[in-house]
Structure 1
């Protein structure tokens, strides 16, 4: 029988199998590395896109903040202007108040009453004067109460005394002013 040595052939097959396995592993490794590189590049692209969106949003937010600051400044200017307009309206409304006070006082003072001083206080007017009788002072107070501009006359002091022409009563009273808007609307009606 012939003996054939199969060892080199087996050895060759083993080398060939090993080479195929190595080549398969190398190709597999290259495919995995290619996929990893593609995934990395894709993630880099996504990150750049997100970074660009974040920068855009930050720029838009800064723009909105600037506009909000402008709006706040405009609101502050508007508030200042409204305050100024309100002050002007009050001044415009009350500019003839002193004329109306003296006009109403002139109509309310009876014949036998004379005023020595009229001073304005925070609450209204402080009146000092002289009258012949207590009834004249009472009449004066009733006329002030009936006036559209005055309210709550309050007699503080009344003293009797003698002057050159006879017996005279000196008095001191306070009277409150009606709100100028209320007084003006009452005056327009009558």
Structure 2
């Protein structure tokens, strides 16, 4: 006897295949979602790690900026102190020089001549004085030329005698101050 199968096996096979397809799609979707979740959480953790590193670098930069400001302030104070020390050393070094300059001015002063005003600007000494004659002024200029402390005397003008000081002429003279080489001087 011949067997005839009247059951709808094709529809069952199709339904079974459809179930398997849906299960595979759902499985693939679940696996894709899991992988996406892992990828997103990895990216988020990397971003959080980088942000923590950036925050650490920012705090370190702020500390370094404070230290740089402190260093700059210390350098400025150091420069001010060095400038003050230099001024003090210059004044200490020049203290005996001014005494020697005044002493030399008195030594070069001939009779019949006196100073009424002295001004010093840099290395130039401006002198206003009174003289009995022009020969006394030229004698003063020669004395300055021969001095070890002065050089380049320059007579700017000579005014005739006025009523206050009869017989005296007023003169304006400028001379360069120089520091002579020490010649076995005491220190």
The two structures share one fold, judged by TM-score above 0.5: yes
Question: What is residue 99 of structure 1 aligned with on the other side?
Answer: 99
Count of residue correspondences = 179
The 1-side partners of 2:112 and 2:97 are apart by 23
Question: What is residue 61 of structure 1 aligned with on the other side?
Answer: 61
Q: What is the TM-score when the length of structure 1 is the normalising length?
A: 0.79
Greater share of helix residues, 1 or 2? 1
* Conserved 8 A contact 1:113-1:136: yes
Q: What is the TM-score when the length of structure 2 is the normalising length?
A: 0.80
Residue 174 in 1 paired to residue 173 in 2?
Answer: yes
| Distance apart, 1:31 and its partner CA | 0.9
Question: What is residue 151 of structure 1 aligned with on the other side?
Answer: 151
Residue 79 in 1 paired to residue 79 in 2?
Answer: yes
* Conserved 8 A contact 2:144-2:153: yes
Query: Would the alpha carbon gap of residues 146 and 12 (structure 1) be closer, same or farther in structure 2, given more than 3 Å must change?
Result: same
Question: What is residue 25 of structure 2 aligned with on the other side?
Answer: 25
Question: What is residue 40 of structure 2 aligned with on the other side?
Answer: 40
**How much is the aligned-residue C-alpha RMSD, in angstroms?**
2.7
For residue 148 of structure 1, give the secondary structure of its aligned residue in structure 2.
coil
The 1-side partners of 2:77 and 2:94 are apart by 26
The 1-side partners of 2:48 and 2:115 are apart by 90
* Conserved 8 A contact 1:113-1:137: no
* Conserved 8 A contact 1:134-1:169: no
Residue 124 in 1 paired to residue 125 in 2?
Answer: yes
Deviating runs (4+, > 6 A) in structure 1? none
Unaligned residue ranges in structure 1 (runs of 5+): 162-166
Question: What is residue 141 of structure 2 aligned with on the other side?
Answer: 141
